[in-house]
Amino acid sequence: MNISDLKGIGLTTEKYLNELGIITIEDLATYYPFKYEIIENTDLKTLKDGDKIIVGGIIENKPNVYHFNKKLNKMSFRLNTGDFIANITIFNRAFLKSKLDIGTVITVIGKYDQKHSQITANDIKFGLIEETIIEPIYHASFKINSSKISKIIKSSLNDFMVKETLPNYLKEKYKLMNKNKAIRIVHNPKTKKELTEALNTLKYEELFIYMLKIEYLKTLKTKENGLPRNVSYKQIEKFIESLPFKLTIDQLKAVNDIYDDLTGLNRMNRLLQGDVGSGKTIVAIISMYLNYLSGYQSALMSPTEILAIQHYNNIKKILPNLNIALLTGKLKAKEKKEIQKQIEEGQIDIVIGTHALISDNVIYKNLGLVITDEQHRFGVNQRSNLKNKGKSPDVLYMSATPIPRTYALTLYGDMDISSIKTMPSGRKPVKTYVKTENEIKDVLYMMLDEIKQNHQVYIVAPLIEESEKIDLENVYKLEEKFTKAFGKICKIGLLHGKMNGKEKETVMNDFKNGITKILISTTVIEVGVDVEKATMIVIFDSFRFGLSALHQLRGRVGRNALNSYCILISNKETKRLEILENTNDGFKVSEEDFKLRGGGEIFGVKQSGDMNFKLADIKNDYDLLLKTKEDAHEFIKNKEYLLKENEEIYKQIKKTVNLD
């Protein structure tokens, strides 16, 4: 059922909600608040301007009413709270005047306005009321605000009927509620106690289902046979020796792990994690070469087209004798068909692309190895989709978001892990500075310095997730600003999400080839793009990003022996950002991010496929996560999912893991 079936949702509201990703009634039911405002009986002595308050007292004087017009009126009176006389103002309640005699006891709910030293009430209740008001706060947009969303959800609560998933024995074990009850409470809590219990239930469920998928994938892994391969390590060594640089020790270790996996008995399911610029790609290329030597096709999947193109060009150079194809969603239908035909007939050895690689139209002759770059951008669902493309291809996931090992082991429990911790030699750490907008002039001079040396600069425009239109406006504004400053000196490129693949490619190529010296972009540049002469990145409104995301963006520069700089411009949260001034180690940065923000937000800039829990937070709810891990393990081991009563949960696992 779609939200348009709900009473009171018109076309416009529907559109605004759709823009927030809310399409079905279930989407609405699970559009959880991201925080709560809790208002309790207030001590008036410690009030700050804007505080929300609930306070009881006795009316001191006859209320004064002022009528602005027929509809609009304002009423004021004094309220004696026992140790304080408060001036109360309330709008459009003139009809209450006759009941508000001197001496009447009431409770006022409102906001403290320091400037007028008064309380602006939005509600009056008769009598003294012990009350806690808990207001859910939702992620909103410029078109529809949180309180409107709350109103819509509250009036639809009766229409929310979701399927219960958790098995009864677990509900009993942890005293969890029914999901339907929990959902209603989360949107409309009356007490802190019930809210805590409801949140606990929903978080438990979220984590449990995630861990079930992991535990299930784990059982598959131990059962599956790998493909036969007959390649000696000598052959790989020879290839490594032919490369233009010496591999680092960690890169060699990773290659070893992968060699053992690929030539061993079981199917590979490995995560390769390493900081931006640590050199994961070459490890991937060596793996694909190994796979090619054993007679199989490889597929390399990238989250963005730009990255796919870069990999394509890069890999063609290193493996000139192989047949390598690029397959993206933006190809013309005819070109796509031709490439698909060649993949099916086995003429292509390596195919590189975006999501298009897992579309049903792509049939592989003998897919032996699947690699996903920037794994955190893909969900568990896509993981298994790719796996199922070949008979049982080996799988390598690459991630530039190093996460602390304990978390990695839990969250990627179905995978083996190789980590690249050392950077290739000869790299200089990126010098990072936090600057306020007032210091922009310094930044312009630094930029000028770089450009004079024929170096290049990335500018990242502020990201306002709520609205693409505003993102775009911001990019254009910056373009104007920088054209004024540098228009006579050099060319400036512009890159944003609304461009099509061809346009993006042209802009990116112009920058790579040094035709443009400055590239202004939204975060579409993302991770992984390689431009040799780029020595500076300036990130506006950087407080909007997690530290790990900023660290990844900063990885765009400092890819060689040149001095390079990252300027974080922000008028807020400078203390947090200064952490990046002090360290260039991605593992440290992600630890700090964990401490400060919790795990939910560390995985990249926008939604990450995996672990994007709606309520749970892998840091703050880590204990709960460990419990669900154990419970999920038992559940899978005992094959509880085969019981009739656990039908719904089985469906959910199946959807992800393709059990059929």
- By a kind-dependent CB cut-off of 5 to 8 A, residue 277 interacts, out of Mg ion, ligand ADP, none, with ligand ADP
Determine if 274 is a binding residue for ligand ADP (CB under 6 A): yes
Query: What are the b/e assignments for 643-654, b being 16+ CB within 10 Å?
Result: eeebeebbeebe
Determine the Cα–Cα distance for residues 143 and 8; give it in Å rounded to an integer. 17
Residue closer to ligand ADP (CB basis): 246 or 391 = 246
Q: Is 280 in the site for ligand ADP (CB under 6 A)?
A: yes
- Looking at the Cβ atoms of 42 and 521, the one nearer to Mg ion is 521
The tally of CA atoms less than 13 A away on the side-chain side of residue 577 is: 23
Residues 349-388 contacting Mg ion, CB under 5 A = none
With 0-12 / 13-18 / 19 or more C-beta atoms within 10 angstroms meaning exposed / middle / buried, residue 135 is middle
Q: Which residues contact 337 (CB under 8 A, 6 or more apart)?
A: none
Please count the other Cβ atoms lying within 10 Å of the Cβ belonging to residue 302: 26
Q: Using the minimum distance from each CB to ligand ADP, give the nearer residue, 326 or 615.
A: 326
Taking CB under 6 A as the binding criterion, the range among 90-98, 234-242, 277-285, 595-603 that sits at the site for ligand ADP is 277-285
Distance, in Å, from the CA atom of 447 to the CA atom of 451, rounded to the nearest integer, reads 6
Q: Binding residue for ligand ADP (CB under 6 A) from 245, 405, 436, 606? A: 245
- Nearest Cα neighbor of 579 from 548, 556, 608 is 548
* Spatial separation of the C-alpha atoms in residues 459 and 5, rounded to whole Å: 45
Residue nearest to ligand ADP (CB): 279
Q: Is 461 helix (H, G, I), strand (E, B) or coil?
A: coil
Contact code string over 370-409 relative to ligand ADP, x by CB under 6 A: ------------------------------x---------
Q: Which of the residues 467 through 526 are near ligand ADP (CB under 6 A)?
A: none
Residue 311 CB, nearest approach to ligand ADP (Å): 9
Of residues 310 and 456, the one with the C-beta less far from Mg ion: 310
The least distance separating ligand ADP from the CB of residue 250, rounded to whole angstroms, comes to 9
Residue 247's binding partner out of ligand ADP, Mg ion, none, with CB under 5 to 8 Å set by partner kind: ligand ADP
C-beta of 30 vs 310, nearer to ligand ADP: 310
CB of 375 to Mg ion, least distance (A): 11
**Which of 13, 269, 281, 384 touches ligand ADP (CB under 6 A)?**
281
Choosing from 270, 559, 627, 629, the residue that interacts with ligand ADP (CB under 6 A) is: 559
Q: What is the distance between the alpha carbons of residues 500 and 242, in angstroms, rounded to a whole number?
A: 37
Q: Which stretch binds ligand ADP (CB under 6 A): 138-146, 224-232, 241-249, 444-452?
A: 241-249
Is the separation of the CB atoms in 300 and 292 below 8 Å? no
Per-position DSSP letters for 362-384, written without gaps between them: ---SSEEEEEESSGGGS-HHHHH
Which residue, 192 or 246, has its beta carbon nearer to ligand ADP? 246
Q: Which 3 state secondary structure label does DSSP give 445? A: helix
Which residue lies nearer to ligand ADP by CB, 211 or 282?
282
First-to-last alpha carbon distance for the chain, in angstroms, is 26
Those residues whose C-beta lies under 8 Å from the C-beta of residue 411, and which sit 6 or more positions away, are 214, 403, 610, 611, 618
Task: Report what 336 binds from Mg ion, ligand ADP, none; CB cut-off 5-8 Å by kind.
Answer: none
Binding part of the chain for ligand ADP, among 114-122, 225-233, 239-247, 537-545 by CB under 6 A, reads: 239-247
Does position 528 interact with Mg ion (CB under 5 A)? The reply is: yes
Return the number of the residue (408 or 596) whose C-beta is nearest ligand ADP. Answer: 408
Whole-Å CA distances, 375 to 182, 219, 370, 391, 608:
32, 21, 12, 21, 9
Distance CA 153, CA 147 (A): 10
Q: Which of 33, 57, 110, 279 binds ligand ADP (CB under 6 A)?
A: 279
Region binding ligand ADP by CB under 6 A among candidate stretches 274-282, 385-393, 494-502, 534-542: 274-282
- Binding range to Mg ion, per CB under 5 A, among 59-67, 254-262, 521-529, 608-616: 521-529
* Contact flag: residue 619 with ligand ADP (CB under 6 A): no
Rounded Cα gap, residues 213 and 642, in angstroms? 15
Residue 419 site contact among ligand ADP, Mg ion, none (CB < 5 to 8 Å, cut-off depends on kind): none
Q: How far apart are CA 226 and CA 351, in angstroms?
A: 21
278 in contact with ligand ADP (CB under 6 A)? yes
Torsion of CA 255, 257, 263, 268, to 10 degrees: -110
Q: Is 276 in the site for ligand ADP (CB under 6 A)?
A: yes
Residue 277 interacting with ligand ADP (CB under 6 A): yes
Binding-site member from 88, 282, 430, 538 for ligand ADP (CB under 6 A): 282
The site partner of 567 among Mg ion, ligand ADP, none (C-beta below 5 to 8 Å per kind) is none
Residue nearest to Mg ion (CB): 528
In the complex, minimum distance from the CB of residue 86 to ligand ADP, in angstroms, rounded to a whole number:
60
**Residue in the block written with tokens 């035709």:** 515
* The one segment of 54-62, 335-343, 380-388, 520-528 that binds Mg ion by CB under 5 A: 520-528
- CA distances to 21, 64, 76, 95, 584 from 100, rounded to whole Å, are 46, 11, 11, 10, 65
Q: Which is nearer to ligand ADP, 187 or 556 (CB)?
A: 556
* Contacts of ligand ADP in 412-451 (CB under 6 A): 424
CA 506, distance to chain mean position in Å, is: 28
Q: Is 528 in the site for ligand ADP (CB under 6 A)?
A: yes
- Please name the amino acid found at residue 178: N
Distance, in Å, from the CA atom of 404 to the CA atom of 382, rounded to the nearest integer, reads 24
Residue 213: both structure tokens together: 């998928």
Count of residues making up the chain: 660
Question: Distance (Å, rounded) from C-alpha 656 to C-alpha 215?
Answer: 12
Q: Specify the residue, 185 or 284, whose C-beta has the smaller distance to Mg ion.
A: 284
- Number of other CB atoms surrounding residue 566 within 10 Å: 26
Residue 509 token pair: 């190529």
Nearest CB to ligand ADP, comparing residues 311 and 435: 311
Asked if residue 530 binds ligand ADP (CB under 6 A), the reply is yes
The number of residues that bind ligand ADP (CB under 6 A) is: 18
| Partner whose binding site includes residue 274, from Mg ion, ligand ADP, none (CB under 5 to 8 Å by kind) | ligand ADP
Residue ranges binding ligand ADP (CB under 6 A): 245-248, 251, 274, 276-282, 400, 424, 528, 530, 559
- Write out the residues near Mg ion by the rule CB under 5 A: 528
